[in-house]
Amino acid sequence: MGQEPITLTVSPAEYRMLTTLREMPDSPLRDRVQWLLAELLAFARNPRCPELQADGVPCANPAADCDQCQVVRDMLETMEKALPRP
C-alpha cells in the first residue's frame, strides 16, 4: 500500500524543488538525482572538515562561521560552473 501523506509547511523555493523532483518520471535518473541531492545537502550540513579537531570543533578556529566554509563554497562553485547555462 502507499505511504502515508506528510503535512508540513515549505517555502516557495522548497515547493518548486519538490514538485520538480516529483514531476520526473520514476527512473534510474530520478533515483540518481534524489541520491545526489541528499548527498549534497548532507555535505553542506556537515562538510566533514579535514581540520576536524579531537574535541569535535570542526576546525582550528571555534569561532569560524560554517556558512563561510571554503570547502563547501568550493564544492558549490564547482557544481555551479558545471551546470549548462541557457
pLDDT tens for each residue of 54-72: 555 556 555 666 666 777 7
Separation of first and last alpha carbons in the chain: 41
Distance in angstroms (rounded) separating the CA atoms of residues 72 and 70: 5
Higher model confidence: residue 47 or residue 21? 21
Distance in angstroms (rounded) separating the CA atoms of residues 19 and 38: 16
Residue 31 confidence (pLDDT) above 90 = yes
Coil vs helix vs strand at 51: coil
> CB atoms < 10 A from the CB of 17, how many?
13
What pLDDT, on the 0 to 100 scale, is given for residue 2?
72
Band the pLDDT of 21: cuts 50, 70, 90: very high
Distance in angstroms (rounded) separating the CA atoms of residues 85 and 78: 14
